A and B are shown apart, each in its own frame.
Chain A
Amino acid sequence: MTKKTNEKTVKPEKTRRNFLTWIWFGLGTLALIEFGGVVIAYLRPGKRQKKSAELGAIIDAGRVESFALNSATAFVRGKFYLCRLEDGGFLAVSRKCTHLGCTVPWLNKEKKFACPCHGSAFDIRGEVINSPATRALDIYHLFIENRMVKVDTGKQIKRSGFRADQVVYPKKVKA
């Protein structure tokens, strides 16, 4: 409830002092924001990460012939599975479940990845066959050189689902 005064109530005028104070507060806030930004930039993981990804990122998984059809071979060092599909094509899928990050084991009998944490399941192509995961397993860039399968663990590719063009096929061997 506002009290009614008899005298004229004086509004705070926009004096030079008010203006300068306002400038001080503005600059102070800006400085604080900048300081916060610098602190966060200091804490951010950055160049350190990229360097380690380039050195020794490409792993020689093995010769094309050494992988059976419809199999998944675990590579601990690169944290991926090398999957060979029924039609002979290769996929390098990440071992990290896309739900919350647990490591998914490959169950060879049932031919699927089953996450022990919350029950997510993926097929040999990394596609989701059971929730709570909603995204297919990430894949790594894969190429074949002189019948040697190579996986670039520095290049992790997020994907929404399986697409035929993600599979790498070895060149047909002349009979």
Chain B
Amino acid sequence: MSLFQRIRYSIFPGTLGPVKDRLDYRRFFNSLFLHFRPRTIPERTLRFTLTWGLGGMAVVLILLLFGTGILMKFVYQPFPDKAYASILHLQRDVLFGQFVRNIHHWSANILLVVVFLHFLRVFFTGAFHPPRQFNWVIGFCLFLTVLMSNFTGYLLPWDQLSFWAITICTGMLEYIPGVGLWLQRLIRGGSEVGVATLSNFYAIHTAILPALLITFMPFHFWRVRKAGGLVIPRSPEEDSEIPGEAVPGIPNLILREVVTALVLMALILMISAFFNAPLESKANPGLSPNPTKAPWYFVGFQEILLHLHPLMALFLIPVLMIVALVSIPYIQYLSSTEGVWFASVAGRRSARYAAILALVATPCGILLDEYLIDFAAWMPELSPAISDGLIPFIIILAVTFGIYLLLKRSHSANKNESVQIIFVFFLIAFIILTITGIWFRGSGMRLVWPWAV
């Protein structure tokens, strides 16, 4: 053998010997690909409309974020007096600097949407029943990690938008009973958003959260493999035990994944070429913009905060949400509805009704509270935590429970469908709140039409 051949076979020992036919990829990529992708997969899971490729898209976006993030680490300076200037420098003087920043910005925001849709897909296809229960929890932790990455990254440009969004978001922490003020000082690195805050957020954003992602992502993927791959899609009447024909992963799965990844990357690059990441004027601690809003993904909570006392909006409700979401797989369901979109035919119907009811009830609630209701003024003898917090909270729970019972009875929903009804109701309500907060809140946080924002 020549020197070249000896080197080549030392790197790719599996390629020693003749390649029998073009489909003999297996030997070619023996050492690498077989560990990443399954050797065979059920043919029915190849269908794009099963997962819409969302999980894979999330991976691609995270890789883009790592790449562009690392590139920016060479230019960005994490100090309040230098950060903004370093970003201007990146955008104006560094070759493709603006492009890199744009890719980072759009990938980050699209990633949040993608992982959220992925989370919805997993729920609605019932891919959390045993043996996938714990993977749901891991996925939820990943979701929180991505959310925190968006949040900590938001501060880094140190412009008016960043500074004040983070000021009010960390300002919300003080309303957590007991540890709130301590937590706020710990995260801010002091009593105000300043030098220490930027250092902390930079360390968290570029080191701690990537480390967590790199730890939990493989765990998440491995759990999918261990569960035998994706859920097998089926129509509600079909039996659940038929996996169907198995086809080789290479090329069937690989080709589809690569195509999805390339199309996504092309879209991101095109968007990044035409739309710049926002950058307002440099942060001025003496001037708060009007209105000052949290990042779009937290605006739902800010909207709740405008209606309910901070103790409810910033502590009780988030805690209940997290507890409820994490425990979804651990409810004892009668049967596994995995692979069936919206659990069943009845499930699809009741989910539709739940969505419509939420679509109507949420704006009504918002308008009622904005213009008609003022519990604090009607019951001044009660503490605001009760009149503006506990009482409206109980009313909301009562209304929701009433709607839940109504739908459950009229559709004779089983446990799977009942959980889905509640999930859909709160999901639509939260989306409406977020939409209101982004497009219907203007100066002084008053309700306005979107064109007046």
Contact = CB atoms under 8 A, between A and B. Distances in A.
A21 interface: no
Interface string A34-50: 00000010011100110
A99 interface: yes
B286 interface: yes
A147 interface: no
B186 A117 contact: no
B167 A131 contact: no
Given A45-B196, A117-B291, A101 B168 contact: yes
Contacts of B188: 45
Given A45-B196, A99-B171, A102-B167, A117 B189 contact: no
Contacts of A132: 305-306
B164 A102 contact: yes
Contacts of A95: 286
A40 B286 contact: no
A97 B171 CA distance: 10
Contacts of B292: 102, 116-118
Contacts of B215: none
A142 interface: no
B351 to A, nearest CB: 35
B196 A117 contact: no
A116 B290 CA distance: 5
B287 interface: yes
A104 B167 CA distance: 13
Which of the listed residues A49, A101, A115, A116 has the most CB atoms from chain B within 10 Å of its own CB? A101
Contacts of B192: 96, 101
A74 B188 CA distance: 25
B252 interface: no
A101 B189 CA distance: 15
Instruction: Report the interface size class on chain A.
Output: 20 to 34
Given A115-B288, A116-B292, A134 B306 contact: no
Contacts of B305: 132
Contacts of A164: none
B225 interface: no
B167 A101 contact: yes
B308 to A, nearest CB: 10
Contact of A131 (B172, B200, B285, B376): B376
B168 A100 contact: yes
B286 A43 contact: no
Given A45-B196, A118-B306, A131-B376, A102 B288 contact: yes
Contact of B186 (A45, A49, A103, A116): A45
A26 interface: no
B189 A45 contact: yes
A101 B190 contact: no
Interface string B179-204: 00000011011111100100010000
Contact of B168 (A48, A102, A119): A102
A10 interface: no
A116 B384 contact: no
Interface in A66-119: 76, 79, 95-97, 99-105, 115-119
A76 B287 CA distance: 10
B190 A118 contact: no
Contacts of B186: 40, 43-45
A119 B443 CA distance: 9
Contact of B446 (A76, A96, A119, A131): A119
Interface string B438-453: 0000011110000000
A117 B288 contact: yes
Contact of B200 (A43, A49, A96): A43
A103 B445 contact: no
Contacts of B446: 119
B131 interface: no
Contacts of A118: 291-292, 306, 444-445
B191 to A, nearest CB: 7
A105 B288 CA distance: 8
Contacts of B286: 76, 79, 95, 103
Nearest to A53: B191
A134 B190 contact: no
Nearest to B172: A100
Given A119-B444, A119-B445, A132-B306, A103 B288 contact: yes
A104 B288 CA distance: 7
Interface in A120-161: 131-132, 134
A81 B291 CA distance: 22
A134 B309 CA distance: 10
B306 A45 contact: no
Interface string B157-170: 00000001001101
B190 A49 contact: yes
B384 A134 contact: yes
B171 A101 contact: yes
Contacts of A101: 167-168, 170-171, 192-193
A140 B308 CA distance: 31
Given A117-B288, A117-B291, A131-B376, 13 more contacts: A43-B200, A44-B186, A45-B185, A45-B186, A45-B190, A49-B191, A100-B168, A103-B288, A105-B287, A115-B288, A117-B292, A118-B444, A119-B444
What 6 pairs across the A-B complex have the smallest Cβ distances?
A116-B290, A100-B171, A101-B171, A102-B288, A100-B168, A117-B292
13 contacts: A45-B186, A48-B196, A79-B285, A97-B288, A99-B171, A100-B167, A101-B170, A116-B289, A116-B292, A117-B292, A119-B445, A119-B446, A132-B306
Interface of A: 40, 43-45, 48-49, 76, 79, 95-97, 99-105, 115-119, 131-132, 134
